[in-house]
C-alpha cells in the first residue's frame, strides 16, 4: 500500500473518479468515530443512518475489488478521531507515500484536516468531491468579491450555466420563477401518497451506540429503520418522488398537516447530503420524467423543484464558504434566550410546535416550512440565542451537516446575519400557520386572539418582536408595512401586546 485515501461519512459518492479503476496500492479508509458522534447531540436515526450507509458503501467498494479498511466505533484499535487513526495506520505501513483527502464540506473538518496535512512528512493530495454543481468560490467568481447576492440572481445564473429549463437563452415558459402558483394549503379530501419507507434491522448498530454511551436524541424503530442506506434505495426514493410526488410538489410545498408528515416532499436530503445521490442526477431524473409526462407535471411543479436543487442548495453552500468562519458567530438581534424545554420533548399545548417537534423526534425529519415557519419562527420571536438554535437543528435532522444547516438556521430562519442570505426575517403571527395548515383547529390556543386567556402565543410574540427590534426593522423596505402598522397602534394596544408577550416569555415552559 502506498496511498491511504480517506472517505468521510458524507462522501459516499460511488461515481467518484477514485473508484473508476481498482488500484491495489490504494487503501480506502472509513471510520466511525466519537469525534463525529459527539460534536453535537445527534438524533439516533442520524447516527445510525450515517454508520449504516458507510458500512454499506465500504462493503460495495470491497465487493468491487477495492481495498478498504473500516474502523467500527467499538473496535479496540479505534482512537476515535481522524488524525490519530490515520497516523496509526501510517506507522504500520512503511511503504506509505501519501494521503488522499476529498475536500470536506464543513469548515470544522476542513480546518482540522488542513492542520493534519500540515503536520505530515508525506504529501497529502486534495481532491474535489465531484458532487456539487459549482465551486465553493462561485459567488465571488460570478458576482465579484463579497458583493451581496440574492438567491434569485444566483439561480438565474445557474439556469443559464446548466441550460436546465432554458430555451434559446430564455427561461422556458417565459418566466424564471413560478412560486406564486405554489403556495397552497392541503385541501380537504386531498390525500398525499404514503411515504416510501425502508425497513432495515439496525438493532446491532443501536446496541453498539448504547454500549459506547453515545448520547442521542429522538426515537428509532430499530427493526424498521426507514431511511435509505445505499445507492439503490436512494434511487428508489428519487423514483418514488418523481412518479408520485413531483406532480404536486410545488403546489403543496408550503402546506402543513397533522395527518401527513412527508406530504409531497422528496425526503432525499439525507441521500443527497451523504452524496449517495448527486444533484445532477436528481435534476435530470426529474426533468426526464417531466418531459415524458407533461400532462401530469406542469412547469410550475418542475421549476419549483429544480429551483430547490440548483438554486437554494447550491446557493446555501456558496454563502457558507463565502462567509465562514465569521458567519457562525453572527447575532444581528443580540438574542440570548434559552430554547424552551419542549423543543426536546414536543410537550406543549401549542399544536403547531407540538406536531413539528414530535415529528422531528419520531422521524429526524420536518419539511422546510415546519423548520422555517413553526420552530424557527418561534425561536426567533422568542429571542433565542442563535448558537443554541443552531445546535438544535444540527442535531435533530437526518440531513443536518453544518454547511447546509448553518446558513439555513442562522441566516434564513434566525436572520442573525442581518440579511446576507434573506432579504427580511421570516416571522409571522399565528395567521400564516393557520393559512397553511390544519394545526390551529386542534390547538389549545385561539389563533384569532392576540391577548387574554388562550390567545395564540405567536400573535403577541410577533408584535413584541417588531417593537423590540423596531429600529433595525424600520430600515428594511420589506418590513415597512409591519413597522408602520405597529406605529399606528394605540399605546394601550401596544402595552397589552407587550404584557401578553412578556407573560408568555416568562412562562414559556408552561405553554
Ligand atoms: P424537499 O422539500 O423535497 O426539497 C428537495 C430538495 O431541495 C431537498 O432535499 C434539498 O436538497 C433541497 N433544498 C430545498 N430547500 C433547501 C434549502 N433551503 N437549503 C438546502 N437545500 C434545500 N436542509 C438540509 O439538507 N440540511 C439541514 O441541516 C437543513 N437545515 C435547515 C434548517 C432550517 C431552519 C431550515 C428552514 C431549512 C433547513 N434545510 C436543511 C433546508 C430544507 O428544509 C431541507 O433541505 C428539506 O426540508 C429536506 O427535505 P426534503 O428532501 O423532503 O426536501
Ligand atoms: Fe400554533 Fe397558534 Fe395555531 Fe396554536 S393557534 S396551532 S399556537 S399558530
Q: Which DSSP category does 52 fall into?
A: H
User: Relative to the CA of 374, which ligand 2 atom is closest?
Assistant: 1
SS3 455: strand
Q: Can you give the pLDDT at residue 183?
A: 82
CA 466 to CA 428: how far, in whole Å? 11
List the one residue out of 335, 334, 349, 336 whose CA is nearest residue 509.
349
For the cut 90, the answer to whether the pLDDT of residue 36 exceeds it is yes
Q: Where in the chain is the domain with CATH 3.40.50.620?
A: 3-127
Interval 224-250 mean pLDDT = 97
In the reported structure, the alpha carbon of residue 159 is separated from the centroid of ligand 1 by a whole-number distance in angstroms of 20
Whether the CB-CB separation of 89 and 29 falls below 8 Å is answered with yes
Ligand 1 mean position, distance from CA 447 (Å): 28
Q: What is the pLDDT of residue 80?
A: 98
Residue among 359, 445, 455 whose CB has most ligand 2 atoms within 8 A, to mutate: 445
Is the N-terminal amide bond of 325 cis, ω within 30° of 0? yes
User: Looking at the CA of 315, which ligand is closest?
Assistant: 1
CB atoms closer than 10 angstroms to residue 306: 21
Candidate of 106, 151, 269, 286 to mutate for ligand 1, largest count of ligand atoms within 8 Å of Cβ = 269
Q: Which of 46, 401, 408 to mutate to test the pocket of ligand 1 (most atoms within 8 A of CB)?
A: 408
Q: What residues does CATH 1.25.40.80 cover in the chain?
A: 138-323
Q: Tell how far the Cα of 457 is from the centroid of ligand 2, in angstroms.
A: 7
- What is the C-alpha end-to-end distance of the chain, expressed in Å? 61
When pLDDT is averaged across residues 20-43 and rounded to a whole number, the result is 97
439-441-443 Cα angle (round to 5): 70
**Ligand 2 centroid – CA 408 distance (Å):** 23
Check residue 145 and give its pLDDT: 85
Which pLDDT value is given to residue 319?
97
Just give the CATH number of 341-510: 1.10.579.10
Sequence-ordered strand ranges (E) for 351-483: none
* Nearest ligand 1 atom, CA 414: 34
* Confidence check: pLDDT of 146 > 80: no
> Averaged over 469-480, what is the pLDDT?
95
Q: How confident is the model at residue 182 (pLDDT cuts 50, 70, 90)?
A: confident
434 pLDDT higher than 90: yes
Question: Who lines ligand 1 at CB under 6 A?
Answer: 265-269, 272-273, 308-309, 312-313, 316, 367-368, 371-372, 376, 393, 397, 399-400, 404-405, 408-409, 412-413
Q: What is the pLDDT of residue 12?
A: 98
Q: State the alpha helices, DSSP H only, in 397-507.
A: 402-406, 430-436, 457-468, 470-474, 480-488, 491-506
Percent of the chain with pLDDT over 70: 100
Atom 14, ligand 1: which residue's CA is nearest? 308
In this model, does residue 120 exceed pLDDT 90? yes
**CATH class name, domain 138-323:** mainly alpha
**Has residue 181 got a pLDDT over 80?**
no
Q: How far apart are CA 445 and CA 458, in angstroms?
A: 10
Mean pLDDT computed over 289-310: 95
Question: Is-contact 469 415, C-beta < 8 A?
Answer: no
Min mean pLDDT across 141-150, 221-230, 423-432 is at 141-150
Please give the grid coordinates belonging to residue 298: 406542469
Using pLDDT thresholds of 50, 70 and 90, give the confidence band for residue 173. Answer: very high
Ligand closest to 304 (CA) is 1
Q: Please give all residues whose beta carbon lies within 6 A of any atom in ligand 2, as ranges.
A: 350-352, 430, 433-434, 439-440, 443, 445, 447, 456-458
Maximum CA pair distance of the chain?
A: 80
| 67: confidence class by pLDDT, cuts 50, 70, 90 | very high
Q: What is the pLDDT of residue 439?
A: 98
- Which residue has a Cα nearest atom 18 of ligand 1? 312
User: What whole-number percentage of the chain has pLDDT above 90?
Assistant: 98
Give the torsion sign (CA, 242, 248, 251, 257). Answer: negative
**For the segment 452-463, what is each residue's pLDDT rounded down to a tens digit?**
999 999 999 999
Q: Does the structure show a pLDDT above 90 at 482?
A: yes
The CATH H-level (homologous superfamily) assignment of domain 3-127 is HUPs (3.40.50.620)
Q: What separation in Å is there between the alpha carbon of 408 and the centre of ligand 1? A: 8
Give CA angle at 9 (16, 310), nearest 5°. Answer: 60
Q: What single string gives the DSSP state of each residue in 261-324?
A: SSTT----HHHHHTTSS-HHHHHHHHHHHHHH-TTTS-HHHHHHHHIIIIIIIHHHHHHHHHHT
Mean pLDDT on 370-392: 98
Return the bridge partners of 373, or none: none
Model pLDDT, residue 151: 95
Distance (angstroms) between ligand 2 centre and the Cα of 32 equals 41
Residues 6+ apart with CB under 8 A from 397: 43, 46, 360, 364, 365, 366, 371, 405
Q: Residue whose CA is closest, atom 8 of ligand 2?
A: 430
* Distance between Cα 296 and ligand 2 center (Å): 35
Nearest CA to ligand 2 atom 2: 456
Across the chain, mean pLDDT equals 97
- Mean pLDDT lowest among 100-114, 167-181, 253-267, 464-478: 167-181
Helix (H, G, I), strand (E, B) or coil at 198: coil
- Mean pLDDT of the 497-508 span: 97
Q: Which ligand is nearest to the CA of 279?
A: 1
Residue with the smallest CA separation from ligand 2 atom 1 is 352
Distance 79 CA to ligand 2 centre (A): 48
Q: What is the pLDDT of residue 92?
A: 95
Mean pLDDT computed over 138-161:
93
Q: Which atom of ligand 1 is nearest to the CA of 272?
A: 11
Question: Residues 45, 206: contact at Cβ < 8 Å?
Answer: no
Which three cell numbers, joined as nine digits, stand for 449?
A: 386572539
Element (H, E) at 414: none
- Ligand 2 centre distance from Cα of residue 190 (Å): 22
Of 391, 385, 406, 415, nearest to 323 by C-alpha is 406
Report CA(405)–ligand 1 centroid distance (Å): 9
Closest atom of ligand 1 to 279 CA is 11
Which ligand is nearest the CA of 252, by number? 1
Amino acid at each position: 500500500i502506498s496511498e491511504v485515501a480517506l472517505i468521510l461519512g458524507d462522501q459516499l459518492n460511488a461515481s467518484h473518479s477514485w473508484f473508476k479503476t481498482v488500484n491495489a496500492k490504494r487503501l480506502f479508509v472509513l471510520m466511525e468515530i466519537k469525534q463525529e458522534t459527539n460534536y453535537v447531540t445527534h438524533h439516533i436515526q442520524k447516527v445510525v443512518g450515517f454508520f449504516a450507509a458507510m458500512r454499506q458503501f465500504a462493503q460495495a467498494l470491497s465487493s468491487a475489488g477495492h481495498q478498504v479498511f473500516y474502523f467500527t466505533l467499538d473496535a479496540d484499535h479505534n482512537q476515535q478521531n481522524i488524525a490519530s487513526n490515520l497516523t496509526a495506520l501510517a506507522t504500520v505501513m512503511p511503504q506509505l507515500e501519501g494521503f488522499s483527502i476529498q475536500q470536506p464540506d464543513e469548515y470544522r473538518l476542513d480546518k482540522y484536516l488542513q492542520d493534519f496535512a500540515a503536520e505530515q512528512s508525506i504529501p497529502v493530495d486534495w481532491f474535489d468531491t465531484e458532487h456539487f454543481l459549482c465551486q465553493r468560490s462561485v459567488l465571488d467568481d460570478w458576482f465579484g468579491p463579497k458583493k451581496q447576492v440574492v438567491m434569485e440572481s444566483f439561480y438565474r445564473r445557474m439556469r443559464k450555466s446548466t441550460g436546465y429549463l432554458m430555451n434559446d437563452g430564455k427561461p422556458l415558459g417565459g418566466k424564471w420563477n413560478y412560486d406564486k402558483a405554489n403556495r397552497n394549503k392541503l385541501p380537504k379530501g386531498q390525500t398525499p401518497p404514503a411515504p416510501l419507507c425502508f425497513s432495515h434491522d439496525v438493532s446491532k448498530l443501536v446496541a453498539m451506540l448504547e454500549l459506547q454511551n453515545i448520547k442521542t436524541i429522538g426515537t428509532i424503530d430499530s427493526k424498521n429503520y426507514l431511511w435509505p442506506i445505499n445507492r439503490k434505495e436512494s434511487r428508489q426514493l428519487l423514483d418514488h418522488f418523481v412518479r408520485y410526488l413531483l406532480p404536486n410538489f410545488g403546489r403543496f410545498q408550503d402546506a402543513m398537516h397533522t395527518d401527513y408528515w412527508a406530504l409531497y416532499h422528496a425526503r432525499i436530503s439525507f441521500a443527497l447530503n451523504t452524496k449517495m445521490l448527486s444533484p445532477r442526477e436528481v435534476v435530470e431524473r426529474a426533468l426526464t420524467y417531466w418531459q415524458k409526462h407533461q400532462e401530469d407535471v406542469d412547469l410550475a411543479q418542475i421549476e419549483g423543484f429544480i429551483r430547490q436543487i440548483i438554486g437554494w442548495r447550491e446557493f446555501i453552500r456558496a454563502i457558507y464558504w463565502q462567509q465562514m468562519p465569521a458567519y457562525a458567530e453572527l447575532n444581528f438581534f443580540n438574542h440570548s434566550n434559552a430554547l424552551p424545554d419542549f423543543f426536546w420533548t414536543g410537550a406543549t399545548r401549542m399544536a403547531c410546535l407540538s406536531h413539528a417537534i414530535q415529528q422531528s423526534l419520531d422521524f429526524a425529519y420536518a419539511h422546510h416550512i415546519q423548520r422555517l415557519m413553526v420552530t424557527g419562527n418561534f425561536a426567533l420571536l422568542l429571542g433565542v440565542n442563535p448558537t443554541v438554535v443552531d445546535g438544535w437543528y444540527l442535531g435533530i435532522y437526518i440531513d443536518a451537516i453544518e454547511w447546509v444547516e448553518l446558513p439555513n438556521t442562522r441566516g434564513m430562519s434566525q436572520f442573525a446575519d442581518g440579511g446576507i442570505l434573506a432579504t427580511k426575517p421570516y416571522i409571522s403571527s399565528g395567521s400564516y400557520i393557520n393559512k397553511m395548515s390544519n394545526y390551529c383547529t386542534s390547538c389549545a390556543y385561539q389563533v384569532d386572539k392576540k391577548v387574554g386567556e388562550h390567545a395564540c402565543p405567536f400573535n403577541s410574540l410577533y408584535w413584541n418582536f417588531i417593537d423590540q427590534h423596531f429600529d433595525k426593522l424600520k430600515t428594511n423596505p420589506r418590513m415597512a408595512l409591519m413597522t408602520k402598522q405597529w406605529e399606528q397602534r394605540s399605546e394601550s394596544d401596544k402595552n397589552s401586546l407587550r404584557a401578553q408577550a412578556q407573560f408568555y416569555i416568562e412562562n414559556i415552559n408552561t405553554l
